[in-house]
Structure 1
Amino acid sequence: MKIVLACVAGLSTTMMMDSMKDVIKNSKKLDSDSFELMAIPVEQLQSEIEGTDVVLLGPQVSYKSEFVKSITEPLNIPFIVINKDVYGSMDGATVVKEALIAKRKQEMKSNS
């Protein structure tokens, strides 16, 4: 599962990405080999979107939601704006869970 985290310059999202990787690595249910996480500036999303399952948008760039939607929607890729409190606490577990739920919802929508 490819998850792309998009923000301004990729700095704080790299910290979130590391938190998410720790959660996945320490999980008894998730296989870290089946996850690919990438932190990028939101402007690079168009060039990195191929093969992406979920896009996570940092709260500091939530104003770019329409831009992200214009890229993800035609490809049926879900995107989530990470809650600012979850982001501020670097709660990787919650973000991983939200990404998995978004992917599952998109799969169910596509199958119906």
Structure 2
Amino acid sequence: MMSKKIMLACSAGMSTSLLVTKMQKAAEKDGTDVTIFATAAADAENKLDQEHPDVLMLGPQVKYMLDDFKSKLDIPVAVINMRDYGMMDGEKVLQSALAVIDAQKA
């Protein structure tokens, strides 16, 4: 199975960095082959061009950018659940990102 690439974007890229670590731990535990990285929303377009992720997950604080990204990108874009984000629940955010990717391919 191909490795999936998940990109997180938040206002500064700091809080999502912690979430990335938790998601990577969850992926290792589940045996899921994924690459996960975070960036500041301001730098998201550069990162998208360089990395070509399978999905872009936006932090709740930048959810106002959702439509803008959706109109520009050919990959799925979703907003991270506020509660999962607040709890830094790497497992839940990982599962929702993978579900978004799978829904796109269906």
Alignment TM class, shorter chain as reference = 0.7 to 0.9
- Structure 1 counterpart of 2:104: 106
- Structure 2 counterpart of 1:91: 89
For the Cα contact (< 8 Å) 1:46–1:71, is it kept in 2? no
Q: Any runs of at least 4 consecutive aligned residues in structure 1 with deviations exceeding 6 A, and if so which?
A: none
Question: How far is the alpha carbon of 1:65 from its aligned partner?
Answer: 1.4
Task: Using structure 1 for the length normalisation, give the TM-score.
Answer: 0.83
Question: How far is the alpha carbon of 1:79 from its aligned partner?
Answer: 1.1
Q: Structure 1 residues 82-91 or 34-43, which shifts more?
A: 34-43
- Structure 2 counterpart of 1:57: 58
Partner amino acid for 1:14?
S
Q: Give the distance between the partners of 2:35 and 2:58, measured in 1 at CA.
A: 16
Aligned partner of residue 36 in structure 2, secondary structure: strand
Measured against aligned partners, the alpha-carbon deviations of 1:81-101 in whole angstroms (never above 9, x if no partner) come to: 011111000111111111111
Q: What is the alpha-carbon root mean square deviation over aligned residues?
A: 1.2
For the Cα contact (< 8 Å) 1:82–1:95, is it kept in 2? yes
Measured against aligned partners, the alpha-carbon deviations of 1:16-64 in whole angstroms (never above 9, x if no partner) come to: 111101101112x42xxx3211100112221121421010000011111
Aligned partner of residue 9 in structure 1, secondary structure: coil
Q: Give the distance between the partners of 2:14 and 2:88, measured in 1 at CA.
A: 13
Q: Considering only CA atoms, is the larger Rg found in Structure 1 or Structure 2?
A: 1
Aligned partner of residue 3 in structure 1, secondary structure: strand
Q: Which runs of 5+ in 2 are unaligned?
A: none
For the Cα contact (< 8 Å) 1:8–1:41, is it kept in 2? yes
Aligned partner of residue 49 in structure 1, secondary structure: helix
Is 1:16 the counterpart of 2:19? The answer is yes
